[in-house]
Amino acid sequence: MYNVKSSKAEEFIDDQEVLDSIAYAEENKTNKALISSIIDRAHDFKGVSHREAALLLACELEDQNKRMVTLAQDIKKRFYGNRIVMFAPLYLSNYCINGCVYCPYHRKNKNIRRKKLSQEEIRKEVIALQDMGHKRLAIEAGEDPKNNPLEYILESIKTIYGVHHKNGDIRRVNVNIAATTVDDYRKLKEAGIGTYILFQETYHKKNYEELHPTGPKHDYAWHTEAMDRAMEGGIDDVGIGVLFGLNLYRYDFVSMLMHAEHLEAYKGVGPHTISVPRICPADDIDTGDFSNAISDEIFEKIVTVLRIAVPYTGMIISTRESKKVREKVLKLGVSQISGGSSTSVGGYDEPEPEDQNSAQFDVSDTRKLDEIVNWLLDMGHIPSFCTACYREGRTGDRFMKLVKSGQIANCCQPNAIMTLKEYLEDYASPDTKAKGEITIARELESIPNDKVRGIATAHLTELNEGKRDFRF
């Protein structure tokens, strides 16, 4: 039976509730009065329920779908302004003992080159990432207690934070590793991680177990309840997501929102981020084997409705997606993107030889970070390298209160401007720098608070003089 506050996965992601929500959406997908009333109410910027979101996703009325797009754009502007947060993944190891059928890391794959970075190799990778201009990383590793024990992850985090090269520093390390124990989550918290990220892949229990036939990840409840344990261990910023295309997208869409509602009801804080990856080609993985793969149009609508349903949550899109798709969804709700990414183990310090593939998936957007920053500036965005909230203790419920009230903009906009200025001074090409300076001048004038604008202006002068790392 459905219970949003239950600690049991099969109760807060209740199969019948998901199916009932999908049936409700199908029954009412042309009910203009009902759909219009939900959209009207969503203009209070407080989100909608998983069942209401299911109906918006199923809506077949063109005029109401256009209203949703406009609303999603308005919500994004209210909560995030023009800011787009930049990050890069860093794959530490692809050793894995799971049997996930959609991932080339699976244990039976004998084609992929297995690799694990040493601490010295990690240091070189971090220097290469710093030389691009990155300040925020998401570290990734396969599940393998022998090759990738928690101690290795903790040592790697310490190495990353300890590398100071020229004006470069990695100021926030987010972690995407397998579900673990409360004690291990406490250790990750003590190591100073930002967000703990774990994708559910699919919430449909039977399909989940078939997609993960062997290994620790086969345990649906252990995996689905991981965020509860992470929060119990003191990690108050968590990131969820599904891999669209593994299962019927409406089922996973509704379930993911139910998970977000559970975290808020049971732990007091919804997810800090939601990621929206789609199944894509990789070594020995053919997307043609997955009949539930979704079109660009459906993908864009998923992003639109997610932004309406959970306005307070950051939304992430990776280099799995093409420039064309990323450009569209940036306007609809995405607030964080990766740039200049390598999905191989290593690959930043020295490009991986073509005959030694260790990548988890193929990259569609292969542009360098400076090209992506330049592109974002052309579209009127502020590429942000900000990590201030994490370092100022604005996490969990403290962060969410500021976001939901709209007060976070008093910090985020000037911080985005100042971190962009750092990037322009230290890493940008001449063309990117020229465009960035125009953006900074424009955005500085739009800061509504005179005091904040004055402080930001003073810090920009100091940045010109060589000082670094200012934050509100």
Q: What pLDDT digit, counting tens, does each position of 412-444 carry?
A: 999 999 999 999 999 999 999 999 999 999 999
**180 and 197 assigned to the same domain:** yes
Q: What is the CATH number of the domain that holds 212?
A: 3.20.20.70
Cβ atoms of residues 311 and 79 within 8 Å: yes
Q: How far is CA 359 from the centre of its chain?
A: 19
Distance (Å, whole) CA 226 – CA 246: 20
Cβ atoms of residues 197 and 175 within 8 Å: yes
Report the number of distinct structural domains present in the chain.
3
The single-letter DSSP state of residue 62 is H
Our CA angle for 443, 393, 173, nearest 5°, is 80
The predicted pLDDT at position 358 comes to 56
Mean pLDDT across 223-243 = 97
Binned at pLDDT 50, 70 and 90, residue 195 comes out as very high
**85 and 71 assigned to the same domain:** no
Tell me, yes or no, whether 374 lies in a domain.
no
Tell me, yes or no, whether 85 lies in a domain.
yes
Torsion of CA 53, 333, 405, 196, to 10 degrees: 90
Residue 49 clears pLDDT 70, i.e. is over it: yes
Q: Structure tokens of 230?
A: 């992470």
> What element of type H or E holds 87?
strand 83-93
**323 and 261 assigned to the same domain:** yes
User: CA end-to-end span of the chain, whole Å?
Assistant: 45
**53 and 186 assigned to the same domain:** no
Binned at pLDDT 50, 70 and 90, residue 364 comes out as confident
- Strands 164-165 and 168-169 turn out to be antiparallel
**150 and 92 assigned to the same domain:** yes
The predicted pLDDT at position 293 comes to 81
**211 and 322 assigned to the same domain:** yes
Cβ atoms of residues 149 and 180 within 8 Å: no
**Which residues on neighbouring strands pair with residue 84, listed in sequence order?**
383
Tell me, yes or no, whether 135 lies in a domain.
yes
Distance (Å, whole) CA 154 – CA 187: 8
> What element of type H or E holds 161?
helix 150-162
Relative orientation angle of helices 15-27 and 249-262, to the nearest 10 degrees = 120
Residue whose structure tokens are 């609508």: 301
Residue finishing a domain among 76, 92, 121:
76
Distance (Å, whole) CA 425 – CA 407: 29
Q: Structure tokens of 441?
A: 């001048």
Residue 224 clears pLDDT 70, i.e. is over it: yes
The predicted pLDDT at position 408 comes to 82
Mean pLDDT across 281-290 = 56
Residue finishing a domain among 37, 56, 76:
76
**426 and 359 assigned to the same domain:** no
> Where in the sequence is the domain holding 446, given as residue range(s)?
389-464
The predicted pLDDT at position 409 comes to 76
Binned at pLDDT 50, 70 and 90, residue 328 comes out as very high
Proportion of the chain above pLDDT 70, given as a percent: 96
Proportion of the chain above pLDDT 90, given as a percent: 84
Tell me, yes or no, whether 377 lies in a domain.
no
Nearest to 433 by CA among 442, 422, 444, 443: 422
Mean pLDDT across 316-345 = 93
Tell me, yes or no, whether 4 lies in a domain.
no
Binned at pLDDT 50, 70 and 90, residue 359 comes out as low
The predicted pLDDT at position 403 comes to 86
The predicted pLDDT at position 288 comes to 63
**110 and 249 assigned to the same domain:** yes
Tell me, yes or no, whether 263 lies in a domain.
yes
**280 and 344 assigned to the same domain:** yes
Residue 228 clears pLDDT 60, i.e. is over it: yes
Residue 256 clears pLDDT 90, i.e. is over it: yes
Mean pLDDT across 368-383 = 97
**220 and 334 assigned to the same domain:** yes
Residue positions counted in the chain: 472
Mean pLDDT, rounded, of the chain: 94
With b for 16 or more beta-carbon neighbours within 10 A and e for fewer, the 378-414 pattern comes to eeebbbbbbbbbbeeebbbeebbebbbeeebbbbbbb
Binned at pLDDT 50, 70 and 90, residue 362 comes out as low
**268 and 185 assigned to the same domain:** yes
Residue finishing a domain among 26, 49, 76:
76
Tell me, yes or no, whether 8 lies in a domain.
no
Of residues 261 and 358, the one with the higher pLDDT is 261
pLDDT tens-digit map of 67-124: 999 999 999 999 999 999 999 999 999 999 999 988 888 888 878 889 999 999 999 9
**288 and 423 assigned to the same domain:** no
Tell me, yes or no, whether 92 lies in a domain.
yes
